[in-house]
Structure 1
Amino acid sequence: MRCVNAETQPAGPPPRADTADAADATAGRATSRVLRQLLVPAGVLTAVGGAFAYVAAVDPNEPGHYPVCPLWRFTGLYCPGCGGLRSAHAFARGDLATALTDNALAVAGFLAFAVLWTVWVVRVARGRPLRFALGPVQLWTLGAVALVFTVVRNLPFGGWLHP
């Protein structure tokens, strides 16, 4: 009687190395593609984070650090962006009440950026392109909000919107 060793007898057909290698290569290419595509949102976040870090470190409430708004300097009127740096300074330091007082529209913009950036990263990670297009109604609405904000903050009863 012959004794058969289990180690010498193959259990089934040998695995195909070329199939396993191809699957690994495809997964590696997909991962590398996603990581490359995440470089752009990462770069945008780095730039915005750097700008916020700079504004948090260099106080815009101190004269001479930043230029004065030309519209305010020449007309005494507040534009929609007036107080935006002070708002970003307070926002970066975690003082939401002061940030809203300095420029509520800017705070809404900071939050909208955070939401859109998150959606962008999630879509890129899932392999989908970011499709973000504002139609005429949305653009006119944004313009109307900015205009109303600007007009109200320059009226006597809109003093609570002054930076």
Structure 2
Amino acid sequence: MTLHLATAGRRTTRERLRAVLAPLGVAAATGAVFVVVGLRDPNQPGHYPTCPFLWATGLFCPGCGTLRTIHALAHGDVVAALGLNPLAVATIPFLLFWWGRWALRSWQGRPVRTKLAHPAYIWGFFVLVIAYWIVRNLPFGAFLAP
């Protein structure tokens, strides 16, 4: 009975690998996006559709320039990526942190938190995105346009 209790909390490598399948799947999908966008240049017409918001309004959305940003990052050009969509580049470290925390907690068998961050941070990011969206369409914010 003691032996059973001592091994009950331990997980095999197979169980750990099964637990990290979802984080590894997200990493594989992200890698695939970087490969595809890195190989198919969004600066060439006809490879990707136009942003629907830009097409309908003539204004840039917060995501405008993100495909070209990914293309620049896939080619190691961080300066060009920052010039296309600095908000997208700035969010990458946070996404990597959250992904790493998810993968580590999954590997360790700890419960995965359902909250990404404190609601105040999420609302603050939401306000930042809205402000970025507005400013990049104003004359003094032209440096934020892709």
The structure with the larger Rg is 1
Letter in 2 for 1:158: G
**What is the correspondence of 1:10-159 to structure 2 with a 5 Å cutoff?**
29-133=11-115, 134-159=117-142
Distance in 2 (CA, whole Å) between partners of 1:140 and 1:117 is: 20
Distance in 1 (CA, whole Å) between partners of 2:75 and 2:96 is: 16
Distance in 2 (CA, whole Å) between partners of 1:138 and 1:120 is: 18
Gaps of 5+ in 2: none
How does the TM-score come out when normalised to structure 1? 0.78
Distance in 2 (CA, whole Å) between partners of 1:136 and 1:28 is: 34
Moved more, 107-116 or 148-157: 107-116
Distance in 2 (CA, whole Å) between partners of 1:61 and 1:75 is: 21
Distance in 2 (CA, whole Å) between partners of 1:161 and 1:39 is: 37
Letter in 1 for 2:124: T
Gaps of 5+ in 1: 1-18
Tell me the SS of whatever aligns to 1:91: helix
Evaluate the alpha carbon distance shift between residue 136 and residue 38 of structure 1 in structure 2; reply closer, same or farther with a 3 A threshold: closer
CA deviation map 1:51-78 (0-9, x unaligned) = 1110011000111110111221222110
How big is the shift at 1:109?
A: 2.7
Moved more, 106-115 or 63-72: 106-115
Aligned structure 1 segments of 4 or more residues deviating by more than 6 angstroms: 25-28
How big is the shift at 1:106?
A: 1.1
How big is the shift at 1:113?
A: 1.8
Q: Percent identity?
A: 43
Moved more, 114-123 or 144-153: 114-123
The number of residue pairs the alignment matches comes to 143
How does the TM-score come out when normalised to structure 2? 0.87
